[in-house]
Amino acid sequence: MPARVLIFDPTVSSRILTRAALAEAQYNLVVAESSADAQVEMMRGRPDLILLGVVAPAAGAFAFLAGLRADPQRRGIPVIAVGRLSDPSLRLAVLRAGADDLCDRPVDPVLLQAQVRRLLRRSDSLAELCLREETHRALGFAEEGEEFLQPGRVSVVVPEGQAVLPAVVPVLDRLPGGGDVLDPRSLLTRIGSGDAADLFVIDAAAEGLRPGELFRLIAELRSRASTRHSVQIAIVPPDMTDMAAMALDLGVDDLVSARVRPAELMHRLKALLLQKHRADRAREKLRRGVENSVTDPLTGLYNRRYALPALKSVTDQAARSGRMAAVMVLDIDHFKEINDRFGHATGDKVLEEVARRLAARVRVGDMVARIGGEEFLVVMPETDAEAAAEAAERLRSGIEDRPFESNREGCPAPPPVRVTLSIGVALGAGERPGEPTLFERADAALYSAKLAGRNMVSLSRPAA
């Protein structure tokens, strides 16, 4: 479905010209000549982007922006202010009022379309992150927190031997996170070592940086893992609109003319750093939410939701390779008695310590999970019967050999807790339809260990 774009401009001729500039892109364009008309159109359907006509002294535009940014349901709609915006004070005032970008008249269709695409991409990316964040919050995996913007590192990129643009110098001096100046070769060397700034200011107006080099640099920064989520702003010559449009389409986050004033540049840099901070924060919440959904909150081990599909992946790989995999189901002996005698606080400490000891006694690449109250699962790819038996005995003895601390309140010298494990082990090179799975065989072997007296390892041999 094409994006819905609202053109709100009180001047008839300006509305016509703006609409014509976007006609080729085939957006769903709606127009409004007054604030009341604009409100009606927004009630009919939330626009994906607004093109706001600005005519000095721009009182109507300022009032519209103030109302839009105060509305919780609409404050996130991106806005491009369109008008004769050569006055630096007017440009800065419109940006501070809430416009996301500016487009000077006469409108260049190629550049305006690139500006629209850039803001629609940004809006879609933020909406996707926020949707995932809301989903995890609804499931209880993410928590609200105060937004605290830390100073970000800024790197200015200029061709070797060229001076920094005069408008950039005072901005660098005032940035709380500091900034440095690099040529493109030094920049790539630095980010190759994983040392990356939060924001890159690429001076493409300086002599020596051809359009092709700018485009490659933008693409390079977007492709590197260390700079993929950094933000970029390009400074371009005033009349090179094709170059500016291509830079936006390649992924630069903002763009200014070489005539930019320090105050406007500072505003844009702060806005980009805030944008990066919010996106990083949303990604981190998403990462924590995903992690919490597959881990046990008490022990930090994988939970059953993660472990069983991971086990299936290991057994499938074993079937393809023909190499044995070992599966262990482990159960703490008489765990209910531990809870009854020493209390649930001690029971929790026992579970945590058992998890720690198990995780410390398996190989890198093996999986340890808590799949029930006092039940654990260990999966060991590419493991034969001898190695599996040795590993199981190592896990069993690692629990038995050293008593656990108790947590009995009011007792000056709490007695130690003796803990033991029963372990069932199954091996196989994959699973056959109609036969017990490795997990089922390991579980049956665990039952045999319990019947035989507990605190032992029972091995289920591979099916013939």
What's the pLDDT score for residue 463?
A: 53
Burial of 143 (0-12, 13-18, 19+ CB in 10 A): exposed
What's the pLDDT score for residue 31?
A: 96
What's the pLDDT score for residue 175?
A: 83
Q: What is the pLDDT of residues 72-92, one digit of tens each?
A: 999 999 999 999 999 999 999
Q: Are 211 and 246 in contact (CB under 8 A)?
A: yes
What's the pLDDT score for residue 149?
A: 55
DSSP state of 222: H
Residue 302 bridge partners (DSSP): 295, 369
What's the pLDDT score for residue 16?
A: 95
Closest by Cα among 52, 33, 126 to 95: 52
Distance CA 205, CA 248 (A): 15
Provide the CA 117 distance to its chain's centre, in angstroms. Answer: 22
Q: What share of the chain is helix, strand, coil (3-state, %, to 5)?
A: 50, 20, 35
Residue stretches of the chain with pLDDT short of 70: 129-150, 408-413, 461-464
What's the pLDDT score for residue 136?
A: 46
Provide the annotated active-site residues.
374
Q: What is the pLDDT of residues 380-428, one digit of tens each?
A: 999 999 999 999 999 999 999 999 988 766 566 678 899 999 999 999 9
What's the pLDDT score for residue 173?
A: 85
Q: Is the pTM of this model over 0.85?
A: no
Q: Set out the domains of the chain in order of their start, with CATH numbers.
A: 1-107 (3.40.50.2300), 138-292 (3.40.50.2300), 304-460 (3.30.70.270)
What's the pLDDT score for residue 1?
A: 82
Q: What is the gyration radius of the CA atoms in the chain, in angstroms?
A: 31
Provide the CA 279 distance to its chain's centre, in angstroms. Answer: 7
Give the tokens for residue 250: 């390649």
Three-class SS state of 177: coil
What's the pLDDT score for residue 293?
A: 86
Place of tokens 């601390």: 405
What's the pLDDT score for residue 412?
A: 63
What's the pLDDT score for residue 139?
A: 45
What's the pLDDT score for residue 131?
A: 54
What's the pLDDT score for residue 146?
A: 46
